């Protein structure tokens, strides 16, 4: 078993002193794996637990398998955890194939055992021949991404990891090992049946491949590892892109913007879709294949502005103009509505809130398309607020005649599913005064003689699309909590400015802001320093669109001013790893600055990877992803006036 030792070492599968759950069916492969770990138990100081599931599919044989494994473990002083699970009942309840149902039941039990013992590893006996079969089967089925890479050597599971130390061995090598150590094993007759797809691959294709190359399992394993590494990089890259194109996301729905989606390389488009499906299904649904990925892309690329695609398990993809919605939610047609209102009023509608009031003063925002200002005396009251009707027409400003409401909604690219949500305001004579948020009518116009103004405003609900197809999204809904208020920021900024003013009085410092995040802090800081100073900026990054520093510092914009002989004050928004600042300090020293001081609004010492220490600190923040007042995530949230903690579901896909 030296081959297995080297394989474990190469992939860093096990460390000493750990608890290992071993999946043991009683067959040759799992008994060989159990024997291998028994031989390493003392050397690696391992705690071993054998886990066995009777799927109740093979009657007496399955019961004897259970008793065989249990007796072996008792004899060899190995902890045993066994379960009898009615897979047929689970299969009928979930409407799954027998193999999928058995796998789900088995892994659910493995997870329970892992958590019960707080185990570090679940060791499974998949071997090189299994790898060949899996990769070929998935290729034929039309798998995509990680699916094509076959069985992973290691992956996260429960409170630890699944490891597969035998992927470097063939079935023949395992049988030779069992014969050498004289170990008995049970035989599962179902492995000989041609009813199962895997068995047909095993009996018909494997012999041919092994005849061509007896070590073919090693070539497939090598390809599997390469594909896993390549896919890992591509998926990480797609994740960064995807975070910038998602407009709305919850457990049942993800909405993306199509224009930035199509700027992605095609390989990343496929993976972005795969990530969306993976997120909504919680794992890739067994029926999803590369064919579905291509169908989705075809829908999104279609010249038709709208369309729908139905996927397994009730997921559907809706294309509507500039957006695509992936959703499990059942489509509910909006119900017609009609309300007669007396001003003032506040009306809760399916798509938003409509408010009305009268005033003797002309409002300042009459050009706001979500607000209407009209001459009360030019309208017949009371007003009616309603949904559209067949044949609706309105007279637009500057236009002779009328236009159909239906055509206006189409021209303004309002999604088909949202058209019945757009409120129509009409007067008592049946004249449409306003298509809320879209078009204003040419009646009721104000003039110099207007003395009484009607002011209507419409506030769209979160996630409701407007006439351009854009999804309205309140940034504050993405904030878990406000960490530092606007008032506290200004108080602290004034305090720091006072200290720096005394420090640099008469020295004409060069204040360097690190773009883009430090800009608001630098502006407020220097505005409160009543001394002569010079300002310059550098754009330096070690984040990109991620939430953690990459460690690689890049200068995107250098200074326009020489630092030689100058008293330099570096202004930062936040110090996390400290790698960026360390780089800048060393750079300015090399450029012969006279002195270098650092002032930072925020300090996150838990993320420190360098020895750099700021001279002045505004606030120490916890190990959380914070945004606002210059700090961003994927170029968003910089304009929040406070510092807030970003919800994890915004940046964790």
Picking from 376, 371, 570, 397, the residue whose alpha carbon sits closest to that of residue 459 is 371
Q: What is the distance, to the nearest Å, from the Cα of residue 100 to the centroid of all Cα atoms in its chain? A: 27
Choice between 564 and 553, residue whose per-residue pLDDT is larger: 564
Active-site hit among 576, 588, 603, 632: 576
Active-site hit among 166, 453, 625, 632: 625
Q: How far apart are CA 68 and CA 188, in angstroms?
A: 13
Write out the two tokens for 53.
């599931």
Q: How far apart are CA 402 and CA 411, in angstroms?
A: 15
Q: How far apart are CA 315 and CA 590, in angstroms?
A: 59
**Rounded mean pLDDT of 600-613?**
86
Write out the two tokens for 6.
């080297």
Q: Is 327 helix (H, G, I), strand (E, B) or coil?
A: strand
CB-based contact 438:336 (threshold 8 Å): no
Picking from 145, 191, 213, the residue whose alpha carbon sits closest to that of residue 29 is 191
Residue 467's pLDDT band, with cuts at 50, 70 and 90, is very low
Residue 366's pLDDT band, with cuts at 50, 70 and 90, is very low
Asked if 625 is an active-site residue, the reply is yes
- Window from 41-55, 130-144, 155-169, 449-463 with minimum mean pLDDT: 449-463
Whether the per-residue pLDDT at 511 is higher than 70: the answer is yes
Q: What is the chain's mean pLDDT, rounded?
A: 87
Q: Is the peptide bond preceding residue 344 cis, with omega within 30 degrees of 0? A: yes
Choice between 487 and 616, residue whose per-residue pLDDT is larger: 616
Q: What is the distance, to the nearest Å, from the Cα of residue 610 to the centroid of all Cα atoms in its chain? A: 29
Q: How far apart are CA 542 and CA 556, in angstroms?
A: 11
Q: How far apart are CA 620 and CA 606, in angstroms?
A: 10
pLDDT value, residue 553:
65
Residue 331's pLDDT band, with cuts at 50, 70 and 90, is low
Residue 33's pLDDT band, with cuts at 50, 70 and 90, is very high
Q: What is the distance, to the nearest Å, from the Cα of residue 349 to the centroid of all Cα atoms in its chain? A: 31
Residue 161's pLDDT band, with cuts at 50, 70 and 90, is very high
CB-based contact 597:615 (threshold 8 Å): yes
pLDDT value, residue 651:
65
Is 26 labelled as part of a ligand binding site? Answer: yes
At 141-150, the pLDDT tens digits run 888 788 889 9
At 195-233, the pLDDT tens digits run 778 889 998 999 999 999 999 999 999 999 999 999 999
Is 423 labelled as part of a ligand binding site? Answer: no
Q: Does the pTM exceed 0.95?
A: no
pLDDT value, residue 334:
66
pLDDT value, residue 542:
56
**Rounded mean pLDDT of 469-478?**
53
Would the CA dihedral through 206, 211, 217, 222 be positive or negative?
negative
Asked if 388 is an active-site residue, the reply is no
Active-site hit among 247, 412, 572, 603: 572
Is 517 labelled as part of a ligand binding site? Answer: no
Residue 287's pLDDT band, with cuts at 50, 70 and 90, is low
pLDDT value, residue 468:
36
Picking from 346, 354, 349, 351, the residue whose alpha carbon sits closest to that of residue 414 is 351
Active-site hit among 133, 247, 427, 573: 573
pLDDT value, residue 457:
85
Write out the two tokens for 248.
């709305």
At 39-89, the pLDDT tens digits run 999 999 999 999 999 999 989 999 999 999 999 999 999 999 999 999 999
Is 578 labelled as part of a ligand binding site? Answer: no
Asked if 16 is an active-site residue, the reply is no
Residue 428's pLDDT band, with cuts at 50, 70 and 90, is very high
pLDDT value, residue 68:
96
pLDDT value, residue 363:
62
Full set of structural domains in the chain with CATH: 1-224 (3.40.50.620), 245-327 (3.30.465.60), 339-460 (3.50.40.10), 477-650 (3.40.50.2020)
Whether the per-residue pLDDT at 464 is higher than 70: the answer is no
pLDDT value, residue 632:
85
Residue 476's pLDDT band, with cuts at 50, 70 and 90, is low
Residue 398's pLDDT band, with cuts at 50, 70 and 90, is confident
Asked if 572 is an active-site residue, the reply is yes
Greatest C-alpha distance within the chain? 106
Write out the two tokens for 595.
């002195």
Asked if 61 is an active-site residue, the reply is no
Is 28 labelled as part of a ligand binding site? Answer: yes
Q: How many helices (H) and strands (E) does the chain have?
A: 18, 31
Whether the per-residue pLDDT at 598 is higher than 50: the answer is yes
């Amino acid at each position: 078993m030296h081959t297995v030792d080297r394989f474990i070492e190469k992939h860093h599968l096990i460390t000493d002193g750990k608890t290992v759950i071993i999946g043991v069916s009683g067959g040759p492969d799992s008994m060989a794996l159990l024997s291998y770990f028994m031989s390493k138990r003392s050397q690696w100081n391992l705690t071993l637990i054998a886990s066995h599931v009777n799927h109740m599919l093979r009657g007496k044989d399955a019961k004897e398998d259970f008793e065989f494994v249990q007796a072996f473990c008792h004899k060899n002083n190995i902890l045993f955890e066994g379960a009898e699970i009615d897979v047929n009942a689970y299969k009928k309840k979930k409407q799954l194939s027998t193999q999928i149902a058995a796998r789900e039941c088995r892994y659910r039990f493995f997870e329970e055992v892992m958590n019960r013992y707080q185990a570090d590893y679940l060791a499974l006996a998949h071997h090189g021949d299994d790898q060949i079969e899996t990769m070929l089967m998935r290729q034929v089925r039309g798998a995509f991404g990680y699916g094509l890479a076959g069985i992973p050597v290691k992956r996260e599971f429960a409170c630890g990891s699944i490891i597969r130390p035998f992927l470097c061995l063939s079935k023949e090598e395992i049988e030779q090992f069992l014969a050498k150590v004289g170990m008995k094993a049970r035989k599962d007759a179902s492995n000989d049946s041609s009813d199962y797809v895997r068995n047909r691959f095993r009996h018909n294709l494997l012999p041919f491949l092994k005849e061509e190359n007896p070590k073919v399992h090693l070539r497939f394993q090598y390809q599997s590892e390469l594909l896993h590494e390549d896919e890992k990089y591509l998926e990480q890259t797609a994740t960064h892109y995807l975070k910038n194109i998602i407009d709305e996301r919850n457990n049942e729905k993800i909405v993306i913007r199509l224009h930035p989606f199509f700027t992605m390389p095609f390989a990343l488009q496929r993976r972005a879709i795969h990530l969306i499906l993976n997120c909504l299904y919680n794992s890739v649904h067994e029926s999803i294949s590369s064919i579905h990925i291509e169908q989705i892309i075809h829908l999104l690329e279609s010249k038709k502005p709208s369309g729908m695609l139905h996927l397994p398990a009730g997921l559907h993809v809706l294309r509507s103009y500039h957006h695509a919605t992936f959703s499990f939610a059942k489509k509910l047609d909006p119900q017609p509505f009609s309300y007669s209102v007396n001003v003032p009023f506040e009306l809760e509608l399916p798509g938003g809130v409509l408010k009305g009031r009268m005033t003797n003063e002309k409002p300042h925002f009459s050009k706001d398309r979500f607000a209407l200002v009209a001459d009360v005396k030019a309208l017949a009251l009371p007003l009616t607020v309603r949904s559209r009707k067949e044949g609706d027409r309105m007279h637009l400003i500057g236009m002779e005649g009328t236009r159909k409401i239906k055509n206006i909604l189409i021209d303004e690219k309002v999604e088909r599913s949202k058209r019945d949500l757009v409120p129509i305001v009409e007067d008592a004579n049946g004249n449409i005064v306003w298509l809320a948020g879209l078009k204003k009518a040419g009646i009721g116009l104000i003039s110099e003689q207007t003395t009484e103004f009607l002011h209507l405003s419409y506030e769209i609900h979160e996630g409701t699309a407007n006439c351009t197809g854009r999804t309205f999204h309140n940034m504050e809904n993405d904030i878990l909590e406000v960490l530092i208020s606007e008032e506290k920021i200004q108080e602290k900024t004034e305090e720091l400015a006072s200290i720096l003013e005394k420090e640099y009085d008469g020295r004409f410092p060069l204040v360097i802001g690190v773009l883009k995040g430090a800009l608001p802090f630098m502006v407020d800081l220097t505005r409160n320093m009543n001394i002569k100073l010079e300002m310059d900026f550098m754009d330096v990054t070690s984040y990109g669109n991620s939430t953690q520093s990459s460690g690689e510092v890049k200068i995107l914009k250098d200074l326009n001013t020489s630092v030689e002989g100058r008293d330099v004050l570096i202004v930062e928004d936040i110090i996390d790893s400290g790698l960026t600042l360390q780089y800048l300090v060393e750079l300015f020293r090399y450029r012969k600055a006279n002195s270098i001081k650092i002032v930072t609004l925020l300090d996150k010492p838990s993320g420190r990877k360098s020895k750099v220490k700021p001279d002045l600190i505004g606030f120490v923040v916890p190990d959380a992803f914070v945004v606002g007042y210059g700090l961003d995530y994927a170029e968003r949230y910089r304009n929040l006036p406070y510092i807030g903690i970003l919800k994890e579901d915004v940046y964790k896909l």
